[in-house]
Amino acid sequence: MSRPFDIGLETLTGQPLLSGNVARQGVGAGQRGTFFLETFGCQMNDHDSEKVAGVLLSRGYRQVEKPEAASLILYNTCSIREKAAQKVFSRLGEYRDKQAEGKIIGVLGCVAQQEGEDIFTRAPWVSLVCGSASYSKLPEMIAQLEAGNHRVTGLDTDTDETFETDVTRRDNPWRAYLTIIEGCDKACSYCVVPYTRGPERSRASDSILREVRQLADLGYSEVQLLGQTVNSYADPTARRMRFSELLLAVAEVEGIRRVRFTTSHPSDFTRDIVEAIESQPKLCDHVHLPVQSGSTRVLRAMQRTYSREEYLEKIAMIRNASRPIAITTDVIVGFPGETESEFEETLSLLSEVKYHNLFSFKYSPRPNTPSLAMRDMIPEEEKGRRLAVLQERQREIQTVQHATLVGETFEVLVSGKSRRENQWFGYSTSHRVINFTSQATELLGTYVQVHVTGAGPNNLVGEHAA
Q: What letter does residue 66 receive in the DSSP assignment? A: S
Q: Name the residue nearer to ligand SAM (CB basis): 372 or 403.
A: 372
Please state the closest distance from residue 450 (CB atom) to ligand SAM, in A.
30
Judged by CB under 6 A, which stretch of 138-146, 231-239, 319-327, 362-370 contacts ligand SAM?
362-370
Please state, in angstroms and rounded to a whole number, the distance separating the CA atoms of residues 198 and 82.
19
Question: Contact between 228 and ligand SAM (CB under 6 A)?
Answer: yes
Contacts for 90 with CB less than 8 Å, ≥ 6 apart: none
Ramachandran bin of 148, using left for φ above 0, alpha for ψ from -120 to 50, beta for the remaining angles: left
- The residue within the footprint of ligand SAM, chosen from 32, 47, 62, 81 (CB under 6 A), is 81
Please state the closest distance from residue 42 (CB atom) to ligand SAM, in A.
5
Please state, in angstroms and rounded to a whole number, the distance separating the CA atoms of residues 298 and 282.
37
For residue 14, give the 3-state DSSP assignment: coil
Q: Name the residue nearer to ligand SF4 (CB basis): 184 or 412.
A: 184
CA distances from 169 to 27, 132, 165 (A): 18, 16, 10
Q: Name the residue nearer to ligand SAM (CB basis): 131 or 290.
A: 290
Phi first, then psi: give them for residue 180, nearest 5 degrees: -110, -15
- Judged by beta carbon distances under 5 to 8 A according to partner kind, the member of ligand SF4, ligand SAM, none in contact with residue 194 is ligand SF4
Question: Contact between 228 and ligand SF4 (CB under 6 A)?
Answer: yes
Residues 7-46 as x/- pattern, contact with ligand SAM by CB under 6 A: -----------------------------------x----
Please state, in angstroms and rounded to a whole number, the distance separating the CA atoms of residues 204 and 215.
17
Please state the closest distance from residue 267 (CB atom) to ligand SF4, in A.
9
Q: Name the residue nearer to ligand SF4 (CB basis): 139 or 194.
A: 194
Please state the closest distance from residue 279 (CB atom) to ligand SF4, in A.
27
Give the H/E segment covering residue 352.
Answer: helix 340-353
Site for ligand SF4 in 252-281 (CB under 6 A): 265
- The residue within the footprint of ligand SF4, chosen from 109, 154, 194, 266 (CB under 6 A), is 194
Please state, in angstroms and rounded to a whole number, the distance separating the CA atoms of residues 361 and 321.
30
Q: Where are the alpha helices (DSSP H) in 372-452?
A: 380-403
Q: At what angle do helices 205-217 and 243-251 cross, to 10 degrees?
A: 20
Among 169, 181, 232, 175, CA closest to 208: 181
Judged by CB under 6 A, which stretch of 94-102, 113-121, 186-194, 455-463 contacts ligand SF4?
186-194
Question: Contact between 188 and ligand SF4 (CB under 6 A)?
Answer: yes
Please state, in angstroms and rounded to a whole number, the distance separating the CA atoms of residues 454 and 452.
6
Please state the closest distance from residue 290 (CB atom) to ligand SAM, in A.
3
Tell me the HSE value of 137 on the side-chain side, using a 13 A CA sphere. 20
Among 216, 222, 273, 179, CA closest to 431: 222
- The residue within the footprint of ligand SF4, chosen from 52, 70, 72, 193 (CB under 6 A), is 193
Q: Name the residue nearer to ligand SF4 (CB basis): 165 or 228.
A: 228
Question: Contact between 290 and ligand SAM (CB under 6 A)?
Answer: yes
Q: Name the residue nearer to ligand SF4 (CB basis): 136 or 228.
A: 228
- The residue within the footprint of ligand SF4, chosen from 88, 191, 247, 253 (CB under 6 A), is 191
Please state the closest distance from residue 99 (CB atom) to ligand SF4, in A.
34
408-411 own/partner pairs: CB under 8 Å, 24+ apart: 408/451, 408/452, 409/449, 409/450, 409/451, 409/452, 409/465, 410/434, 410/449, 410/450, 410/452, 410/460, 410/462, 411/447, 411/448, 411/449, 411/450
Please state, in angstroms and rounded to a whole number, the distance separating the CA atoms of residues 344 and 389.
10
- Judged by beta carbon distances under 5 to 8 A according to partner kind, the member of ligand SF4, ligand SAM, none in contact with residue 278 is none
**Chain contacts with ligand SAM (rule: CB under 6 A):** 42, 80-81, 190-191, 228-229, 263, 265, 290, 292, 330, 332, 361, 363-364, 366
**Chain contacts with ligand SF4 (rule: CB under 6 A):** 184, 186, 188, 191, 193-194, 228-229, 265
